[in-house]
């Protein structure tokens, strides 16, 4: 189980959090969702994902669309209009009943970090090794994941020890409500509904708001709503019960609402308020808030633009309220089906004593080269501002992903 640090830390939680995030920022763990599916007219998530806000376990329809729309088609394959067995779990090796969804993700990373001063570091990382399942009976669902982590993902651990732990990022039970199942009420450990649930979960917009899909899930009760051009979800946060003691668990809420005026555009708002008697980073009482806007737009089939901007507010007893902001702008260009060129610019201002924010630039290439398989290359440059100095680093990442 997670045993948070007990020794006192500095007063300014945003500075501490920024330093921590810079230490882990180049270690992405889990693939979640592709916000650029809006180019195909998919503004919502429920048709392709078991989670109403996107990510992780695919529905049967989502598997079929991944085969038809995501991967590169070769030769005579370009005329195929049906996914066939390649779109099924384990390539259709055995029949799965309609009441059961099964999935799995294996993702490996070769990482090279080049700091401004000091030697470079190269490391091979098993980023993700998760199995996922959902069982349905009429309107009722039970959903969960079980995985392995050599290191990292401490907040998702279900066994103890510094290495080689079992983890569970999500597990919940829910019921579909409404005449068209447009509502989903569920309880358990879930991803926080906030902003754009993108695959680049180490973006500062995800880590500084603590809404990434790696290990920031919380226990609670959530209500999701989705119709053709509108989706929303709000969650009452009860804390992460995989962390101890109870003082480190946050309570509050998180939610978003998104409206799609057309099949290829969507705008949304997010809000999060959470309180902990002892924050896991500052070791002091903390009330944190994040409120922001996000948008996705596909002007033509090949291009998708997405952006998010969030205000960061942190309050501690007998200390000034600290206000910062973070966000990013991203462009995705799919010049051949399955091959994506991606550029991302991001910023983070968390330290109150500096006028200039931390900035980062991402250059990425992703290729969905075969059924259930993709590779990705990233170059990430970041210039991080702290209260004392500015440091720069460059990371080169090569990923291989296989989903079952």
Predicted confidence at residue 353, as pLDDT, reads 54
- Beta-carbon count within 10 A of 26 CB: 22
What is the percentage of the chain residues whose pLDDT exceeds 70?
89
| Residue that wins the pLDDT comparison between 130 and 47 | 130
Predicted confidence at residue 11, as pLDDT, reads 34
Q: What is the pLDDT of residues 222-281, one digit of tens each?
A: 999 999 899 999 999 999 998 889 999 999 999 999 999 999 999 999 999 999 999 988
Q: What is the pLDDT of residues 166-207, one digit of tens each?
A: 999 999 999 999 999 999 999 999 999 999 998 888 899 999
Give yes or no for a contact between 213 and 235, defined as CB atoms under 8 angstroms apart: no
Give yes or no for a contact between 192 and 274, defined as CB atoms under 8 angstroms apart: no
Predicted confidence at residue 89, as pLDDT, reads 85
Count of CA atoms in the C-beta half-sphere (13 A) of 187: 2
SS (H, E, C) the chain: CECCCCCCCCCCHHHHHHHHHHHHCCCCCCCCCCHHHHHHCCCCCCCCECCCCCCCCECHHHHHHHHHHHCCCCHHHHHCCCCHHHHCHHHHCCCCCCCEEEEEEEEEEEEEEEECCCCCEEEEEEEEEEEEEEEEECCEEEEEEEEEECCCCHHHECCCCCCCEEECCCEEEEEEECCCCCEEEEEEEECCCCCCCCCCCCCHHHHCCCCCCCCCCEEEEEEEEEECCEEEEEEEEEECCCECCHHHCCEEEEEEEEEEEECCEEEEEEEEEEEECCCCCCCCCEEEEEEEEEEEEEEECCEEEEEEEEEEEEECCCCCCEEEEEEEEEEEEEEECCEEEEEEEEEEECCCCCCCCEEEEEEEEEEEEECCEEEEEEEEEEEEECCCCEEEEEEEEEEEEEEC
* pLDDT score of 22 more than 50: no
Cα distances (angstroms) measured from residue 235 to each of 182, 188, 255, 267: 16, 11, 6, 20
Confidence class for position 26, pLDDT limits 50, 70, 90:
very low
| 245 burial via Cβ count (<10 Å: 0-12, 13-18, 19+) | exposed
Q: What is the pLDDT of residues 329-348, one digit of tens each?
A: 999 999 999 999 999 999 99
Confidence class for position 129, pLDDT limits 50, 70, 90:
very high
Predicted confidence at residue 213, as pLDDT, reads 86
Q: Specify the pTM.
A: 0.87
* pLDDT score of 15 more than 80: no
* 66-104 per-residue burial string, b: 16 or more CB within 10 A, e: under 16: bbbbbbeeeeeeeeeeebeebbbbeeeeeeeeeeebbbb
- Share the mean pLDDT of the chain: 87
Predicted confidence at residue 21, as pLDDT, reads 36
Which domains, from first to last, does the chain contain?
Answer: 13-403 (2.40.160.10)
| Residue that wins the pLDDT comparison between 106 and 13 | 106
Q: Are strands 303-315 and 286-300 parallel, antiparallel or unpaired?
A: antiparallel
* pLDDT score of 14 more than 70: no
Confidence class for position 4, pLDDT limits 50, 70, 90:
very low
Q: What is the pLDDT of residues 36-48, one digit of tens each?
A: 899 999 888 888 8
Confidence class for position 140, pLDDT limits 50, 70, 90:
very high
Mean pLDDT throughout 339-359? Answer: 86
Predicted confidence at residue 156, as pLDDT, reads 87
């Amino acid at each position: 189980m997670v045993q948070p640090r007990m020794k006192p830390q500095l007063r300014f939680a945003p500075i501490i959090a920024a330093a921590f995030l810079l230490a882990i920022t180049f270690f992405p763990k889990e693939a979640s969702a592709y916000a650029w599916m809006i180019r195909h007219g998919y503004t919502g998530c429920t048709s392709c994902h078991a989670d109403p806000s996107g990510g992780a376990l695919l529905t049967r329809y989502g598997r079929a669309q991944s085969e038809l729309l995501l991967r590169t088609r070769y030769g005579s394959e370009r005329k195929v209009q049906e996914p066939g067995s390649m779109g099924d779990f384990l390539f259709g090796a055995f029949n799965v009943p309609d009441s059961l969804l099964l999935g799995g993700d294996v993702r490996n990373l070769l990482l090279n970090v080049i700091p401004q001063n000091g030697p470079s570091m190269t490391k091979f990382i098993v980023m993700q090794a998760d199995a996922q399942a959902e069982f349905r009976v009429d309107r009722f669902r039970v959903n969960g994941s079980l995985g392995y982590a050599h290191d990292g993902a401490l907040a998702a651990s279900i066994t103890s020890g510094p290495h080689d732990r079992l983890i569970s990022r999500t597990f919940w039970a829910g019921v579909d409500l409404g005449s068209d199942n447009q509502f989903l009420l569920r309880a358990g450990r879930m991803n926080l509904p906030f902003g754009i649930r993108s695959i680049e979960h180490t973006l500062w917009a995800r880590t500084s708001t603590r809404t990434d899909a790696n290990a920031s899930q919380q226990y609670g009760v959530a209500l999701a709503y989705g119709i053709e051009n509108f989706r929303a979800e709000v969650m009452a946060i009860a804390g992460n019960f995989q962390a101890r003691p109870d003082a480190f668990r946050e309570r509050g809420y998180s939610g978003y609402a998104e409206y799609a005026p057309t099949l290829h555009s969507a705008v949304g708002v997010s809000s999060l308020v959470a309180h902990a008697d002892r924050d896991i980073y500052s070791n002091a009482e903390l009330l944190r808030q994040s409120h922001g806007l996000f948008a996705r737009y596909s002007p033509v089939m090949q291009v998708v633009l997405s952006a998010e901007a969030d205000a960061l507010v942190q309050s501690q007893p007998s200390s000034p309220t600290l206000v910062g902001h973070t966000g990013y702008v991203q462009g995705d260009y799919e010049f051949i089906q399955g091959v994506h060129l991606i550029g991302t610019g991001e910023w983070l201002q968390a330290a109150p004593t500096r006028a200039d924010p931390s900035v980062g630039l991402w250059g990425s290439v992703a290729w969905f080269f075969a059924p259930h398989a993709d590779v990705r290359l990233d170059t990430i440059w970041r210039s991080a501002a702290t209260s004392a100095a500015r440091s720069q680093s460059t990371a080169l990442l090569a990923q291989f992903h296989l989903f079952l």
